[in-house]
Structure 1
């Protein structure tokens, strides 16, 4: 058992456990799987519970609820979920935990204790741990819910939810209650921490929201803490803002391990809704990306959002359209970056050169090389080539 406990805390075993447990949980609770952020919070909870459990497996039972597990309860409470969702998570997990332990004991050789004794010991400890977890999490869930009920935060959150659902809204009254001019141009964002262990996650995402508002010329954003690690916020401006102005926040976002997704600015209550929907779609792309960017704007990944539910077909399209540019070679990566910048700058060579900090003749040379590899001018099938390049920039070259 000591040997198993030492091996079980390694990343390889922990990853296997998390994948087995969470796959069942997400399969049985579709509403959990449909949320862009909750699966990430669930993974952090399951991993922390597993490591805490196996660390105590060979000693007297001493339960302590890990922080990421409490974050899952708080996130569900903040999203208005019923307590039953949290309880269903642990009911679904119980079955997979028992299957996992059965698989572990099946690998024991003749020198080990009897398998049924080992399984009985591990399962009894796991059952005790999960029972203690559920009791502690119920308390955490209701404490968080009570804070929401007693505070103005709940009223604001419910009003925002009503607007997002499309309920009839008195714009002037809602603007006064939210201290947010809904008739102005609305820029919707989602900020979240990439690290589940960040102790000051809430303070950091709120700081980023305030910085974004200042960059766009707004006094303050409207914020809703949607979970333990993710913040929804809107910035209102009298005229259409230029989102490119937030690009220099990239270094801060990287340092703080925060990611940001942005919807397209649109005016009024309709813009408030559509911008948020686009920010959520861009967030999902960022969470799935192999090479995530600090900021993911919906305008840059809109086509990827539309094909996100057909990954196999998308990969075949990428290989068909830009297969010759898909290698891992640095020179090919340079060509891809140049062509993508060229498309992003409306096929303007000078603007592309300025963006890449190279001479315009260098840009022309790279574009010519890319056309030679593709076998046709870039103006041909430009939409599909652009989509394929954006896919590789986020997810890496697909395997043939």
Structure 2
């Protein structure tokens, strides 16, 4: 008995839904009108056309499913609905607003269904059941739409964000390279004063690092330099460019994030905007070449010569190897001898001044220099410019930890140098 009653209800639902097919245009328009009355914030123009297309496509799909008793697991939003949802993303229509429009539309549809049952249901004893069936179906349809369109909306929002970011990056690249940039117009578009002071940072995710949010890390480092709002440009998934509109003379503080950072020198105007960025890129390149650890901020002024000579990493390392020989090794002795050589040259080749600078006895300095000459296989004054450059590169391309170790070696030898008149050590 219950089974025959269910069949009767389903047959009545199909008959009423079929009777509503000729009314589809008015149902679609009525749904739209109901939504617009409840949501006056919907802008006119293109958005209204999108909403109308969605109302008509959904109404057609609902009647088709009711007529054919389509199971929910086999349903999917019509292609027109998916397209209109994606288009709404492009019109900056929020997901919450879309879902509210669906809920408002559902109220209208429930009313139309109830009226249709009153008009077309011949057996009044099952009218309530038919209304309940249609209402339950519509609620299920809303749940389906919420799930399916949610993922469509997210996918489209991510695509729009990616393309917007790419377009933004492309525009900044033009500002960095083109000759006919109008500073005022470009500044208005970027929301950044190109004619003022700048300090550029370039952040890159450290190799093997986690998915550190680069934008927030850029803001964090920029905040250690100035309270001014920085300009950020995401050039790819692992890189962010940053400019701080302030006259900054300090260096950015290291960060705990899994990134490495290059920082340019302060500069002014469009030329300075470009130069500081170029320097930040060069500083970052040196940091990567040297294998600096995550969290390092490399200031261009400290690595300027290394950046100039290190544009070709293979040639740079070959040059150091040719000039330094075994002094280029990362042994305790090689690091100690390089530090002594550098101190000697900085002291204008004066043994006593170098000893005072390094905290060593002048005979210790002399001994180490003789040892260095032996390892080099040539006098120190031969190709001295090349030798000093190679020493500078070896120092700047050493990771910070190795520099700390080298400093400890020198500091330790200072103490030993004070205890003896002549200290013979390697």
Task: Give the TM-score normalised by the residue count of structure 1.
Answer: 0.47
Q: Which has the higher contact order (CA 8 A, sep 6+)?
A: 1
Task: Give the TM-score normalised by the residue count of structure 2.
Answer: 0.45
Query: Which of 1 and 2 has greater Rg?
Result: 2
